Structure 1
Amino acid sequence: MSAPVNWPKVIQPLLKKYKSSKHPLEYKNTYQLLVMVVLSAQDSDRHINQIAPAFFKMFPNMTALSKATEVAISEQISDVRNFGNKARWLSEIAQSVKKDAAIPMDLEALTALKGIGRKSANVILRESGKPAEGIIVDLHVVRVAPRLGIAAGTDPKKIEKQIMDVLPQKDWDAGMAISFLGREICRPTNPKCEICLMNAVCAFYNNKL
């Protein structure tokens, strides 16, 4: 039986590689990031980046968004997946927060807002330079973490807890690092295992050998 993996040690090269990498959403401030995170759920970052400029021209800040009707918001995001619910959530968030400066910066307050779950809140905190209160688990992490062997299953909340249990809080940016690895190397099909800097400890790769 092989020895257990020392994840706090072996995750360091991955953290180092991606520590200064900005999230793929092309936002210019926290307001834009929050809106784009809500919109990107079950849609692609690339698509949200495409529709964002027109949206923010119409609604440049939280105050403008708080005065918009749900119908007006819907019209700007009509080709976004689940746009009806997202228009309602954004309207409720804006009417609750009212101005950019009042956007909360802790996990509990962020997840209390409509349409913002733990993943979205963790992304907002990371990109705002705040200490991690959890681990980002997006669809890439759901795929890659079990491949690596750092977590098991397909439930994002359970995967997050498993990673939090094996890594110290200072290394909780591992979620975003694993996500980048999934986007660039550990693709759903034909992962580039041979050039992956985690292949020495990866359960998926070593089981293939």
Structure 2
Amino acid sequence: MDLFGNNTEWTKNLEPILTKYKGRKHPLEYHNLYQLMVMVVLSAQDSDANINKIAPALFEAYPNMDSLAVSNSEALIPYISKVRNFGTKAKWLLEIAQTIQKDEKIPLTMEDLVALKGIGRKSANVIMREAKVPAQGIIADLHVIRVAPRIGLIQETKDGIKAEKMLMQVLPREIWGEIGMAISFLGREICRPQPKCPECPINSICAFYKKIKG
């Protein structure tokens, strides 16, 4: 038993968003695993929309891991200069490419992904979810960090690692792969900083909605 309720109960309560968003592709407009990994690294503290904008020219110049592995910061930076912290991210990407070398060697376990520069648990969870491998955690992006406490699923925190840990304690492993992205999509579309509560498919179980309805 946990602080927030029964696991089975939460699975049932969250079923409407699991169904609504099941399998929906991440908003980063990638076309293969290599592109996804690069874009996930670039998107830290930046918007998916911005990364989508710079991606076509970047991938025309660097179509695969091999081409990135033999490049350098000076050549790479012009393609990512509109991205936040581009200097650091250029170093991370070059180091990742030099470590991995080939697209087919991109790792798909939590342990191997977080060992790479610029990839934390959130990024690793996104990569694993999109690659459709069994989840070893739950995506806890800024939308999830905002929405999960609002629903009443976890306590409030600004720390993604803590949020993920609490979610993993509350939710059964069989929904880990999809629930993070489902909550994230809900946060992007409906449960925004100014939420559209009447439109929400899970408003009947939401702590925030119950409170505002009095």
DSSP-derived class of the 1:146 partner: helix
8 Å contact 2:16–2:201 — kept in the other structure?
yes
1:4 Cα deviation (Å)? Answer: 4.1
Structure 1, 149-158 or 5-14: larger mean CA deviation: 5-14
Q: Tell me the TM-score normalised to structure 1 length.
A: 0.96
* Residues 1:160 and 2:160 are matched in the alignment: no
Structure 1 runs (4+) greater than 6 angstroms displaced? none
DSSP-derived class of the 2:134 partner: coil
* Letter in structure 2 aligned against 1:167: L
Q: Tell me the TM-score normalised to structure 2 length.
A: 0.94
Please provide the CA RMSD for this pair. Answer: 1.1
Where does the alignment leave 5 or more consecutive residues of structure 1 unmatched?
A: none
DSSP-derived class of the 2:161 partner: helix
Number of residue pairs the alignment of both structures matches: 206
8 Å contact 1:66–1:98 — kept in the other structure?
yes
* Residues 1:84 and 2:87 are matched in the alignment: yes
Q: Deviations over 1:35-84 (max 9, x none)?
A: 00000011000010010000000000000000000111111100100001
Aligned to 1:28: 31
Where does the alignment leave 5 or more consecutive residues of structure 2 unmatched?
A: none
- Which of 175, 179, 182 is 2:180 aligned to? 175
1:153 Cα deviation (Å)? Answer: 2.1
* Letter in structure 2 aligned against 1:80: V
Q: C-alpha distance in 2, partners of 1:7/1:162?
A: 13
* Residues 1:201 and 2:205 are matched in the alignment: yes
Q: C-alpha distance in 2, partners of 1:119/1:193?
A: 27
- Which of 6, 9, 14 is 2:12 aligned to? 9
Q: C-alpha distance in 2, partners of 1:145/1:75?
A: 38
Identity of aligned residues (%): 60
Aligned to 2:77: 74
* Letter in structure 1 aligned against 2:101: K
8 Å contact 1:30–1:100 — kept in the other structure?
yes
Q: Deviations over 1:160-179 (max 9, x none)?
A: 11111111111112111000
8 Å contact 1:8–1:166 — kept in the other structure?
no
